[in-house]
């Protein structure tokens, strides 16, 4: 996992946070589990924003924007 960048805290994500990456709730859970498998995270471990950034090969800033700043916007 990359070191902390630009004072962005370790943010834990849940399937509901993947609205920018998957449109239906079922697809969000599927994506969540795919990311969990990619990083070999067992059930008690949570997905952090750094995992999503690395999974999609996005900068941390773009990942933050996609998850938090697009919330509620229609595609």
Percent of the chain's residues with pLDDT above 70: 81
Residues 64, 6: Cα–Cα separation, whole Å: 12
Q: Is 48 helix (H, G, I), strand (E, B) or coil?
A: strand
The answer to whether residue 1 sits within a structural domain is no
pLDDT at 39: 96
- Report whether pLDDT(74) > 70: no
Residues 7, 16: Cα–Cα separation, whole Å: 24
* Domain total in the chain: 1
- Report whether pLDDT(5) > 70: no
The answer to whether residue 3 sits within a structural domain is no
For the beta carbon of residue 38, count every other beta carbon within 10 angstroms.
12
pLDDT at 75: 47
Q: Are strands 12-13 and 47-48 parallel, antiparallel or unpaired?
A: antiparallel
- Report whether pLDDT(71) > 70: no
The answer to whether residue 6 sits within a structural domain is no
pLDDT at 43: 85
The answer to whether residue 49 sits within a structural domain is yes
What is the dihedral angle through the alpha carbons of 25, 64, 47, 4, rounded to the nearest 10 degrees?
180
């Amino acid at each position: 996992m990359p070191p902390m960048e630009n004072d962005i805290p370790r943010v834990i994500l849940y399937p509901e946070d993947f609205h920018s990456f998957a449109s239906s709730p079922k697809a969000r859970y599927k994506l969540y589990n795919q990311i969990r498998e990619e990083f070999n995270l067992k059930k008690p471990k949570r997905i952090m924003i750094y995992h999503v950034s690395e999974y999609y090969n996005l900068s941390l800033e773009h990942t933050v924007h996609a998850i938090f700043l697009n919330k509620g916007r229609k595609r």
